[in-house]
Amino acid sequence: MESTVKEAIKNLKNTKRNFVQSVELAINLKDLDLKQPESRVRSEVALPKGKGKSTRIGVFAEGDMAQQGKKQGLDVYSKEDIDELGQDKRKAKLIAESHEFFIAQADLMPAIGRALGPVLGRRNKMPKPIPPVAPLEPLLKKMQQSINIDSKNKPVIHCVIGTEAMSDDDLAENAVAVITAVERILPEGENNISSIYLKTTMGNPIKVM
């Protein structure tokens, strides 16, 4: 698998643009009843070589955790902000779309669930609850290297695995990590995969298998 992934990556890097393109992976699924929850692929995958760009993370917190978040340059939302977002669905959707991950002070989770549950849950972006005194740095470091994968109600998983500025070997390692994670989740593993493609943002898809 890794050798065919590397070959595809070499070919897709021929489509240069005047900006650094993302490298995207698409895994097409088969023989699944998508109405059944067990057929849905939804997980967080750590990319061994990172994403090649920063991840935008939001923090729902007050007090010490809020201060930690601000020092880390994160977007921090207070209990008051949560209540306001619950009344403004348009703004809540914009915030949900503009962040890849959220973390939350554990005691704020009930308020988040009531106000933002439908918006964040639908996007597989419910915050990770952590104790108010927990250090943020280790968790943030892991999040910077992770992606969410979610097939939703379609027979395909689409995700970004890095940028074209990364080496072929690093991109291949990331791609294989995602494919392996998906195979572990699927009821019949690789037998539920019909095809795999790689592409850059503006490039044409290149078949891996």
Phi and psi at residue 203, to the nearest 5°? -95, 170
Cβ 12 vs Cβ 23: under 8 Å: yes
**d(Cα 7, Cα 137) in Å, to the nearest integer?**
36
> Which pLDDT value is given to residue 37?
79
Homologous superfamily of domain range 2-51+146-207: Ribosomal protein L1/L10, rRNA-binding domain (3.30.190.20)
pLDDT of residue 149: 93
Was domain 57-143 assigned CATH 3.40.50.790? yes
What is the residue extent of each domain of the chain?
2-51+146-207, 57-143
Q: What is the mean pLDDT for each group of 10 consecutive residues in the chain (209 residues)?
A: 86 79 96 84 93 93 92 94 95 95 96 95 92 86 92 92 95 97 94 96 92
State the pLDDT at residue 15. Answer: 67
